[in-house]
Chains A and B, each alone.
Chain A
Amino acid sequence: MTAVRRRAVLGGMLATPFLSRLASGQAAGRVVVVGGGFAGATAARALRRADPALAVTLVEASPAYLACPFSNEVIAGLRDMDGQRFGYDGLAADGVAVVHGTARAVDPAARRVELADGTVLPYDRLVMAPGIDIRWDGLDGYDEAAAQRMPHAWKAGAQTLLLRRQLEAMEDGGLVVMAAPANPFRCPPGPYERASLIAHYLKTRKPRSKLLLLDAKDAFSKQRLFTDAWARLYPGILEWVPLSQGGKTVRVDAANLTLETEFGSHTAAVANVIPPQKAGAIAAAAGVADRTGWCPIDPVTFESRLQPGIHVLGDAALAGAMPKSAFAANAQAKVAALAVVAMLRGEAPTEPRLVNTCYSLVGPGYGISIAGVYRPRNGVLTDIEGAGGTSPADAPPEIRELEADHAATWFRTITAETFG
């Protein structure tokens, strides 16, 4: 923002209504939230609760949100899609103006969001939580048409159900091939939970089948817990191929269901390609994404490093040590909402502490977790040393079962807080 424009904005803020709101302890004006997932919906709600005088508008294209956590259970036939669907009535009841539309452009200087239908939404502060988009240029041969043959299923919805139907239609004895991407991507343990639950499906329904998990990495989240469980639960069914053994998929041929790695090629009966990702497209359009495709942020306020007045939350953000998880998105949103309210009041935001807890299921009744506690340090969110980590490697079955129960409770809780 130029000095001239900064003065102009300040001039606008000095108008009498702003000062009178300040004097009465109310934040000025309008916050627009783009994106109605765990980050955006939580933020919209938390903003209204932190300051009921705030006008909060949520822009979300879909009439209902389809949650990614537990969608791997849908793929494996353990759960119905209905359990993933959440509407926005709860937000409307909290006084959030929910606009079902698509944000097409952001003018950070004029502080306006433009929707695809031409609607213009002015804001005093903008919260962007656009989630991820697939990098359709990120894997040779993998475009939107290819995703209809080789679903990514990395956004819950039609892709999730497509992969489930393909598994159901596959003959016993078929080879399922999954491709997992390099870091960073949405839900770091997600590919391994999915592989586990697909292996469970094969073991119980199609026992002559096999799953090959091609990985562009040599290490992954909760690795020891997953690989121990695989050895015990899915021997001879699930094979993980790390980067160093030719796991990186370099090209796909959707017509023939073939995945080429640096070491050879594999032809699948069902292929699940989890491709490289980036922040949702509106992030780049707004100028908050950097050359990595993700969005650098201030670790105290989640304000963009690139565009003042815009806060970026959830999977789209480069949040230091915090993973791209639903828990992290929800936690970030509650912190950022308080920061936004403080900044609108001209107060200094409090330095936050953030938590992440992330459960994965390796089979029914078998849960594992990873947790972290974070603080801003040297401009990024950093792990607090001595805290966090994974479930113990040697935990007894009753602890695994308890963590599976906790996973289900967590999902009911966080969706109730976000949408309920």
Chain B
Amino acid sequence: MTGRLPRTVLAVLALGGLVPPASAAGPPPGATSCSGCHAPAGRVAAPSIPPINGLPAADLVRAMEAFRTGGQPATVMDRIARGFTADETRAIAQWLEALR
């Protein structure tokens, strides 16, 4: 889809400092799906599903690994954790850690 832009514009975008910083800090693949079930703390009444925004990334990585290997019982997170590699999980965890 970048083909929609002429080369000159792409060349300008490729120069350092002109690339929007937001894109580099954007959510890694898969990360935006989490909020479909996990609301930020205090956002919904009596959640049975825990908030995960702001959780230390290392904790989330550990939990996902335990879900993936069956070391921690789950309702649905075992089935979802198995869809992500360790690297993908770490990227998602780091992004979520910065959210409130």
CB of A406 within 8 A of CB of B22, answer no
How far does the alpha carbon of A373 sit from the alpha carbon of B67 in the complex, in Å?
A: 15
| Residue interface mask A1-42, B partner, CB < 8 A = 1 | 000001001100110000100110110000000000000000
The smallest beta-carbon distance between B32 and chain A, in angstroms, is 4
The smallest beta-carbon distance between A189 and chain B, in angstroms, is 14
Which residues does chain B contribute within 8 Å of A406, judged by CB atoms? 37, 48-49, 75-76
Which residues does chain B contribute within 8 Å of A412, judged by CB atoms? 39, 44-45, 47
Which residues does chain B contribute within 8 Å of A369, judged by CB atoms? 75-76
Which residues does chain A contribute within 8 Å of B23, judged by CB atoms? 342, 345, 347
Which residues does chain B contribute within 8 Å of A335, judged by CB atoms? 32
Choice from A301, A334, A416 contacting B1 with Cβ under 8 Å = A301
A93 at the interface (CB under 8 A from B): no
Which residues does chain A contribute within 8 Å of B33, judged by CB atoms? 331, 334, 353-355
CB of A417 within 8 A of CB of B20, answer no
Which residues does chain B contribute within 8 Å of A348, judged by CB atoms? 1-2
The smallest beta-carbon distance between A407 and chain B, in angstroms, is 9
A330 at the interface (CB under 8 A from B): yes
Which residues does chain A contribute within 8 Å of B79, judged by CB atoms? 371, 387-389
Count contacts on B: residues with CB < 8 A to the other chain: 44
Closest-by-CB residue of A relative to B48 is A405
Choice from B27, B32, B49, B81 contacting A409 with Cβ under 8 Å = B49
CB of A409 within 8 A of CB of B26, answer no
Interface centre among B9, B12, B45 (most CB of A within 10 A): B9
B100 at the interface (CB under 8 A from A): no
How far does the alpha carbon of A330 sit from the alpha carbon of B49 in the complex, in Å?
A: 18
How far does the alpha carbon of A22 sit from the alpha carbon of B59 in the complex, in Å?
A: 38
Closest-by-CB residue of B relative to A383 is B83
How far does the alpha carbon of A13 sit from the alpha carbon of B47 in the complex, in Å?
A: 46
Count contacts on A: residues with CB < 8 A to the other chain: 60
A303 at the interface (CB under 8 A from B): yes
Q: A346-B2, A357-B80 are in contact. Are A413 and B49 (CB under 8 A)?
A: yes
Q: A22-B12, A345-B20, A347-B13 are in contact. Are A409 and B2 (CB under 8 A)?
A: no
Which residues does chain B contribute within 8 Å of A25, judged by CB atoms? 18-22
Which residues does chain A contribute within 8 Å of B47, judged by CB atoms? 409, 412-413
Closest-by-CB residue of B relative to A327 is B36
Closest-by-CB residue of A relative to B73 is A399
B6-50, CB < 8 A from A:
6, 9-10, 12-13, 18-23, 26-30, 32-39, 43-49
Inter-chain contact total with CB atoms closer than 8 Å:
160
How far does the alpha carbon of A93 sit from the alpha carbon of B25 in the complex, in Å?
A: 25
CB of A391 within 8 A of CB of B75, answer yes
Which residues does chain A contribute within 8 Å of B1, judged by CB atoms? 301, 303, 343, 348-349
| Residue interface mask A353-392, B partner, CB < 8 A = 1 | 1110100000000000101111000000000101111010
Which residues does chain A contribute within 8 Å of B48, judged by CB atoms? 402, 405-406, 408-409
A187-220, CB < 8 A from B:
none
A136 at the interface (CB under 8 A from B): no
CB of A413 within 8 A of CB of B5, answer no
Choice from A23, A349, A387, A410 contacting B37 with Cβ under 8 Å = A410
Choice from A10, A334, A405 contacting B32 with Cβ under 8 Å = A334
Which residues does chain B contribute within 8 Å of A137, judged by CB atoms? none
How far does the alpha carbon of A130 sit from the alpha carbon of B8 in the complex, in Å?
A: 37
A338 at the interface (CB under 8 A from B): yes
A162 at the interface (CB under 8 A from B): no
Closest-by-CB residue of A relative to B33 is A355
CB of B84 within 8 A of CB of A353, answer yes
CB of A409 within 8 A of CB of B5, answer no
CB of A353 within 8 A of CB of B36, answer no
How far does the alpha carbon of A334 sit from the alpha carbon of B80 in the complex, in Å?
A: 18
Q: A10-B6, A357-B37 are in contact. Are A346 and B13 (CB under 8 A)?
A: yes
CB of B26 within 8 A of CB of A350, answer yes
CB of B83 within 8 A of CB of A384, answer yes
Choice from A23, A46, A352, A355 contacting B80 with Cβ under 8 Å = A355
**With A331-B32, A338-B32, A413-B49 already in contact, 15 other A-B pairs whose C-beta atoms are closer than 8 Å:** A13-B5, A14-B6, A25-B20, A26-B20, A345-B23, A346-B9, A350-B29, A352-B29, A352-B30, A355-B80, A355-B83, A373-B83, A409-B48, A410-B49, A412-B47
Cross-chain pairs A/B with CB under 8 angstroms, 17 sampled? A10-B6, A23-B18, A25-B21, A334-B33, A334-B35, A335-B32, A338-B27, A347-B13, A348-B2, A353-B88, A384-B82, A388-B82, A389-B79, A408-B48, A413-B38, A414-B36, A416-B39
8 interchain residue pairs of minimum CB distance: A373-B83, A387-B83, A25-B20, A353-B30, A355-B33, A334-B32, A405-B48, A412-B44
